[in-house]
Structure formats: structure tokens, C-alpha cells
Amino acid sequence: MRRIVFVVILVLTATFSTPRTPAAERVLAEKGCGAYIIRVCADATPAERHAAEELQRFLKQITGVELPLQNAGPLPARALLVGRDAEVERLASGVDWAKLGGEGFVVRTCGPHLALAGGRPRGTLYAVYSFLDQELGCRWFAPDCSRIPKRARLAVRDLNRVVVPRLEYRETFSWSGYDGDWAARNFSNGHSMRLTEKHGDKVVYQGFVHTFYPLLPPEKHFAQHPEWYSERNGKRFHEHGQLCLTNPEVVREVTAAVRAWLRKNPKATIVSVSQNDWHGWCECAKCKAVDDEEGSHSGTLLRFVNQVAEAIEKEFPQVAVDTLAYQYTRKPPRHVRPRPNVIVRLCSIECCFSHPLEECPQNKAFVDDIVGWSKICRRLYIWDYVTNFAHYLLPHPNLDVLEANIRFFIAHGVRGIFEQGEYQTPGGEMLELRSYIIARLLWNPDYGAKRALEEFLDGYYGPAAPPIRKYIRLLHDKVKKDNIHIRCFVQPTAACFTPEIIAQAEKLFTEAERLAAKQPEILKRVRVAHMPVQYVMLQRGRAWTREALRAGKKTGPFGAHWSEKEVAEKFLAAAAEAGVKRISEGAEFAPFKEKLLLRLAARREKPAPPPGTEKLPTSRVLDAQDDEFSFHKEGTLCGIRADETASDGACAWLTGATHEWAVQFYPPPDYFKAGRRYHARAVVKVRKVKDTGDAFSFGIYDTEAKKGLAHRRVTAKDAATEWMSYDLGVFEPKGKPYVWFSGCKNAEAVPEILIDRVYFVEEAKR
């Protein structure tokens, strides 16, 4: 590119064909020499000294010239002035420094000098990074990948930019986003980031979220004060409960706890007083009366939080009290208003994330809520979701909506945004790309997601960028074309993951790996990006192959020579190289790896027909083996193990100590024939010690209709210790049904339940 045009013109004269030096140019470096000195302001903070060092470091990388540093003192003939002091105020006259706040800054040429200065604590550091970014073209894509242009001759023309960020709080909550240097260079200031004094610190929360019980622990208080906790049906409880928010003693105790927290953490600027991460609100007469008056549970919560905020305001004037508008408190109240020192974080967890929030009919309730909160809340924050908590390694086609949603938030007065991504593990699906796009947009929503995506792909994947770009479009176009709704708990059976799409994706990544073969670092990144496609292949490949053969096709979607073992070996090698720690929010990677290796080693022969179907046409029988199941808290509550007595050499196991629906089977789209009825059965056996109580439950639940379609509880006495087919009855699948299995919290009698298969027999036409 021969020229780069920004809002404020910068000229990198090395790109011009003419040797003439324009009069307004300031030559920073040329032919290995530099005439400029980097002058650090008087009484510089650690962040301002670090800003000067960063400027020196990157200018050397760009030009090969190390400009000397000067700590204040007399003004050199030519200086890059880092930080605000009396000399800079004199030269950069007319700047309203008060309006810059703690993060705004000025990039201004003043005669032969260039001033890079801003508010404290982070303004000057951001001025330096903004200059390197906008004027010099530096990019920091990921902690391990940057683009620092090389220039033999570097000069700038007149500059005069004053920048105040639109958002006061910007957090990319992902594994790569934690890196302090990456975060600072991309203008992020979130609580979880490893930002230190040299970065100008960060926005510091005390008690980040879900703090009711940390503030008032039930294990300490419930026995003596059950009235401090939720009431339901006339009884007080604390398991999966909340606080009784109309009790004045609770207000007093929580306020005291908040004061104690803040006295121990003087750096905190926000303290969280927020509901626990479940329902269970109090239904005592007083709480219910407020809920009814306000038309929302948020009214009771906000009245409570306002009291705490008012009580601490005098001692901690710099601290805001943060609470949630989440799930049952999401709807704004009719009457009460947040105090000026209260932050409300509105959460979008129920939304569709494959369509822009304000365009998707399924998001109308959320849109109504943000409109309502924007009218009454001075400091409205957003807790948004940009990952799939059920499967961190599953493709998550939400890149097309990131810009639209962030713009939507800001248009409705939002002042802080928290984007929750794959926060527990490296190696998450397109983790670095998504983090980079989000960081750019949180700082400047006008930057453009497409621009950020294109420059990241080229910088991070190099020669392999074209097929990866096609892969991203392949998935996103599928979602758009078929109007598929994606939420933050998506299964491998989702409609966007068809055999055809994944087969095309696999070919694109095979090409990407070929193109990156001679560049080991880029090849590693491509292999990590390839993992989500391999993950779908490992989750769905066998079932797709079975379906293809049942339909009379000669091979499955990946061809006759597809090797599950080869895909698994490549997947596990890439996961090890990336250091993957978790497969989902609730499951570590190690049990998944163990399950995968077990599956490959197990005698996975073609199973015999399910019991009672031996004489039926195969077209009427749908047989789901354990390798198609989904697992909640895998390795703790459930998992897969080899079992030579099982129909295909392996089975699922489920502890009898839980009542959670830990093992599930999600039929993929078009699994059942429309308008037909099916008889559902499961082949199960148990390990039992005695015949008392219940052994296990299983059933069918429709997530679209939000109701159960079938349910059966099996007693310990009736549970067999050898494989037995259990009947769930006949049902007509109309919405999105799935099969679930649960223990009965009776491990003393039935320590374990083993599940071989689930199968469905199509009812004969009448």
C-alpha cells in the first residue's frame, strides 16, 4: 500500500517516490539516525515512564534507531513529549485537560515537537499506543503475535487528535485477553486482566459478581438467622436461595461486610452487591409486595442496593456499587431508580447471538429491557456472552454480530461492557481473533469488525489466511441463509453443523495447513484453529456415517478412507500444543481426552440391532450409542468407559449420587420424520448394593415447548444389574426434544448407572 489515510493525516515519507521533504514534516529517524529525544514529564507515574519505554522500544523495532530517554529537564530542540507537565501544557495550549478524565489523551504536534499526553492513570500510555497504532500502523493481534512495520525513514506531519473513550470499562474476558501487555496495547482496562502499575492499573472490582453469599455466608449465619435468607411456601432456605432484601438487618450486615471489603482493598473502584447465580428469590410478604409494586424482582433488589450505596458513599466516594439485571431481575422496575453511585450490569444470557440483538425477534424482550434501563440508569453496564459454555471447542459463528451489538449497547447509553469468552482455557474456538475484534470495537466502535478481522487473519495466519477466511464465511453464511439461532449453550447437533458444511470446512483446513507447512509458528496456529472442525467430526462423524450407510450411500460425508483415529490423534496433538485445559465451563479436558482414547481403543464393532428390533426394517430404527451422548460435569458425575458386555464395547456411566440430568442425547435436526410417532427405549444396567429407594430417572424434554414429553423413574428393586431395555413410551417429536438420564441421590443403594444405548422405533403407519 503506497499511502495510508487516517482521520488525521500522517505521512510515512518512505512510501513516497519523491525525495523532497515537505516543510511540515518532522523526521523522527532516517538512515539509522534519529534527531529526537523522548522526554518524560516531570513527576512521571510508573505508567508514564512505561509509556516512554514502550515508545522507545517500538520506534527502535520500526526504524532500528533507539531514541534516548530524558527525564523532564530542559526542553530539547526536538522532542517526543510523553506525559503532561507544565511544559506540555504550555506547548499544547487550549486543551481542556479536565475533560480528558483518566483515559483521554492528546496527540499533537507543537512546532518541532510531538506531545503524547493524557489524564491519569492511563491517558498518556494510551496516547503512545494510539500514536503507534494509528499513525505508525502497529498492531498487537495476540500476546504472541504483533505487526510492527519497518521504516528506513520515518516522518510525521501536523497532528492534532483529542480522544476520550466512549466506554469507561472495557473487558475482553478470555484467556488471551488476560495478558497485561496485550490488554494495555489494545486499550482494555478490565478487572480480570493482568494490568499492573506500569499499565496504569485497571478498573478494580471488589467481589466481581454473585456476592450475596460471600457477603452474608449462610454456613455462618443461617442457623441463627434463617430470616436473613429466602422464604418460599412459608419456609426459609438457603440452598440455591438468595437474601431477604427487605430485612433491615440484612441491609445492615451486608453494608458492614462491604465496608470491611473496601477497607482491605483500597484500590477497588467498584464493589459488587449482586444476586447468586441461580433463582430462589425471597417470597416473604414484604419482598413480594415490593416485587408486585415494582412489576419486577429488580425493584426489590435495587431498593436494597441503593441503601447499601447510600450508606457507604461518604466513606468511599470513589466507589460505585455494582449489581446485576440478570435472569429474574432483568426487567427494569416501575418506580425505583439507581442512585448515581450504583452501576447496573444488564446480562444478555438468554439471547440469540447469531443475529444482531435489535434485529432478531427472539431478542425483543432483551431489547425492551435495555431501552427501559437506559432511561433510568446513569451508569449502565453490559455483561455480554461471546462463547459457547457447553462446548468451548465447537465452532461459534457469532463474528458477524459483534460490531452491531456493541454499537447497539453504546447507542443506549451503556458505559461499560464485559464480553465473556473462553475464560478458562487456551485453545478456544477462534479465541484470539474474537478477542482482538472485541478489543478494537470496545475502544472504537467505528473501527469496523470486518477491518479488524481481515488484518488479524493476514497478520496471524499469514499464507494460510485465505482458506481460513473462506471457512469463517462458510459457517456464517450458513447461519444467515438458514436463519439459525445460536445461543451460548450449543450442542454439536445444532443445525449449522451439517455433514456437508463440516466436510467442506475440513478441506479448507487441510489446505490451510498445506499453505503454512513451511512456517512452524503459523502452522501451530492453524492447527489450533482446525480443532473445532475436528471436534465436530469426532462428536458426529460416526453417527453421520451410520446415517449415510443406512440411507444406502456407499460412504459417509468424509469419504471411504476417513480415519477417526487419525483425526483424533491430530486433534489431541494440537490440544496438547495449545495447552487446552477445559472442554466446557463445567468439564475439564482430561476426562474428554480419556473418553476419546477409550473410544478409539474400545471394541467399536457394528452393534447388533437393539432388543426387539431384530426383525424390523433398519429404516424404522434410530439407534443412538454412547459416543453420541452429551455429558454435564464429565469425569465427575458421568462419562464413558469400556464395557465388553455393551453392544458396541463401551457405555456411559452416571453416578447415583446426583439428581442432575447429567447424561443427555440431543437428536440432530431432521433426525425424526415429520408427523411420525416413535417408541423410545433405553438399554441400561445398574451397580447396586441394596433394593431400597429409587435407582435412576430418565425422560424426554422438549426445549422448544419447555415441557417434558416422557418420564420414568426406576426403583432400585426393579433396576437390573444386567443390560435391560426400559420403555419410555410413545411420543411425537414436534419441537426440539432430547433424552436425559439422572441418578436419584441414592448412591448408598445404587452407586452407579450404566447406559448402553437409546433407541427409537418408528410406529407403523395405520
Report pLDDT digits (tens) over 11-42.
222 222 233 344 478 999 998 999 899 999 99
Q: Confidence band (pLDDT; 50, 70, 90) for 619?
A: confident
Q: Confidence band (pLDDT; 50, 70, 90) for 225?
A: very high
pLDDT, residue 23, reads 45
Strands 694-702 and 707-715: antiparallel
Q: Confidence band (pLDDT; 50, 70, 90) for 376?
A: very high
CA 173-440-65 angle, 5° bins:
110
% of the chain with per-residue pLDDT over 90: 85
**What's the CATH fold of domain 13-164?**
Chitobiase; domain 2 (3.30.379)
Q: For CA atoms 563, 569, 574, 575, give the dihedral sign.
A: positive
pLDDT (tens digit per residue) in 499-542: 999 999 999 999 999 999 999 999 999 999 999 999 999 999 98
Residue with cell 416485587: 291
Spatial neighbors of 19 by CB under 8 A, at least 6 apart, are none
Answer yes or no: is pLDDT of 605 > 70: no
% of the chain with per-residue pLDDT over 70: 96
Q: From CA 446, how far away is CA 411, in angstroms rounded?
A: 12
**What's the CATH fold of domain 618-762?**
Jelly Rolls (2.60.120)
3-state SS assignment for residue 226: helix
Answer yes or no: is pLDDT of 4 > 80: no
> Is 326 or 550 the better-scoring residue by pLDDT?
326
pLDDT, residue 3, reads 36
Q: Which of 96, 93, 91 is nearest to 80 (CA)?
A: 91
Mean pLDDT of all residues in 675-704: 96
pLDDT, residue 547, reads 81
**Which residue type, as a one-letter code, is found at position 627?**
D
Mean pLDDT, the chain, whole residue set = 93
Q: Which of 458, 479, 478 is nearest to 468 (CA)?
A: 458
CB 47 within 8 A of CB 125: yes
Strands 638-642 and 650-655: antiparallel
Altogether, the residues listed in the chain come to a count of 766
> Among 44-48, 112-116, 201-205, 556-560, where is mean pLDDT lowest?
556-560
Mean pLDDT of all residues in 363-388: 98
> Is 546 or 559 the better-scoring residue by pLDDT?
559
3-state SS assignment for residue 88: helix
pLDDT (tens digit per residue) in 100-116: 999 999 999 999 999 99
pLDDT, residue 600, reads 80
Q: Which of 417, 421, 209 is nearest to 322 (CA)?
A: 209
CB 330 within 8 A of CB 298: yes
pLDDT, residue 766, reads 66
CB 653 within 8 A of CB 741: no
pLDDT, residue 506, reads 97
Strands 79-82 and 105-110: unpaired
DSSP 140-180: EEETTEEE----SEEEE---EEEE--S-SEEEEESTGGG-H
Q: Is the peptide bond before 121 cis (omega within 30 degrees of 0)?
A: yes
pLDDT, residue 73, reads 84
pLDDT (tens digit per residue) in 657-674: 999 999 999 998 788 998
Residue 392: φ, ψ to 5°: -60, -25
Mean pLDDT of all residues in 46-62: 98
pLDDT (tens digit per residue) in 452-471: 999 999 999 999 999 999 99
3-state SS assignment for residue 727: strand
**Which residue type, as a one-letter code, is found at position 127?**
A
User: What top-level class would CATH report for the domain 199-447?
Assistant: alpha beta
Q: From CA 577, how far away is CA 520, in angstroms rounded?
A: 12
Q: Give the pTM.
A: 0.85
pLDDT, residue 543, reads 83
Answer yes or no: is pLDDT of 422 > 80: yes
Mean pLDDT of all residues in 245-274: 98
pLDDT, residue 708, reads 94
Q: Confidence band (pLDDT; 50, 70, 90) for 583?
A: very high
> Among 25-34, 126-135, 210-219, 273-282, where is mean pLDDT lowest?
25-34
Q: Confidence band (pLDDT; 50, 70, 90) for 8?
A: very low
Q: From CA 570, how far away is CA 516, in angstroms rounded?
A: 16
pLDDT, residue 604, reads 56
Q: From CA 559, how far away is CA 46, in angstroms rounded?
A: 60
pLDDT, residue 545, reads 85
Answer yes or no: is pLDDT of 706 > 50: yes
Answer yes or no: is pLDDT of 10 > 80: no
Q: What is the 3-state secondary structure (H, E, C) of 667-733?
A: CCCCCCCCCCCEEEEEEEEEECCCCCCEEEEEEEEECCCCEEEEEEEEECCCCCCCCEEEEEEEECC
Answer yes or no: is pLDDT of 712 > 80: yes
pLDDT, residue 18, reads 30
Where are the chain's structural domains? Answer: 13-164, 199-447, 476-601, 618-762
Mean pLDDT of all residues in 271-293: 98
Contacts 24+ apart (CB under 8 A), 283-286: 283/230, 283/231, 283/232, 283/233, 284/231, 284/244, 284/246, 286/244, 286/246, 286/247
